């Protein structure tokens, strides 16, 4: 019992804490090892089409130096059990970009990521000392239930079969929803919405261009 209490106490309390722990873990054990350690069984990445993270990362050798990244903004469900983090990254070659990661709290109180994407940028984003937090409203939940009832979570992982060209998910309380779609050329769109007490509003909308041919 004491071990369980200590484990719960040590678990990151927010998705921002989890993001920072994930980034620090990558510096200690290696980039792809850390990605495997923090990924849900059905986690999705993009290469540029959607791939199951654990299949894509299986046996993948860590680079000599891990990419560095920092959460700059976080969009959190009312119940605090799901969040979308985004912020800048920088690799060993001093290339810059941004990441976007969907985080889900687990039954043991810890966090795992379920979707990870991003893009390169010509100019680095600012690294804030403290990430901006946007949290969904906890009011009007009875109305919300009728609004999100038709939303279907991403289908389960089937070994050897790639994910579909689109996926979506929502927090257990329905106050945070997210979706992604990939075109045949690898161009991608990601959107996250937060409940404001009356309706959903777009909190994050990202378009990633197709990679050069």
The per-residue pLDDT for range 90-118, each reduced to its tens digit, is: 998 999 999 999 999 999 999 999 999 99
Task: Determine the average pLDDT of the residues in 58-87.
Answer: 97
Alpha carbon dihedral 50, 52, 54, 59, in 10-degree steps, equals -60
CA angle (139 as vertex; 14, 200 as ends), nearest 5: 80
pTM of this structure: 0.90
Q: What is the pLDDT of residue 163?
A: 82
Backbone angles phi, psi at 148, to 5 degrees: -95, 5
Q: What is the pLDDT of residue 122?
A: 93
Q: Which two tokens stand for residue 123?
A: 């100019």
d(CA 94, CA 8): 37
């Amino acid at each position: 019992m004491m071990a369980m209490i200590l484990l719960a106490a040590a678990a990151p309390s927010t998705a921002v804490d989890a993001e920072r722990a994930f980034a620090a873990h990558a510096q200690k054990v290696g980039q792809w090892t850390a990605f495997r350690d923090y990924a849900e069984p059905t986690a999705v990445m993009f290469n540029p089409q959607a791939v199951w993270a654990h299949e894509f990362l299986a046996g993948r050798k860590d680079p000599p130096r891990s990419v560095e990244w920092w959460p700059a903004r976080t969009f959190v469900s009312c119940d605090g059990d799901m969040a979308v983090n985004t912020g800048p990254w920088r690799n060993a070659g001093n290339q810059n970009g941004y990441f976007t990661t969907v985080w889900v709290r687990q039954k043991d109180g810890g966090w795992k990521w379920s979707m990870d994407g991003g893009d390169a940028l010509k100019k680095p984003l600012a690294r804030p000392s403290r990430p901006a937090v946007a949290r969904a409203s906890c009011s009007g939940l009875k109305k919300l239930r009728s609004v999100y009832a038709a939303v279907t979570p991403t289908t389960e992982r089937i070994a050897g079969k790639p994910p579909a060209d689109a996926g979506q998910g929502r927090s257990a309380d329905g106050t945070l929803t997210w979706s992604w779609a990939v075109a045949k050329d690898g161009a991608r769109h990601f959107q996250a919405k937060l409940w404001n007490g009356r309706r959903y509003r777009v909190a994050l909308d990202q378009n990633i261009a197709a990679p050069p041919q």
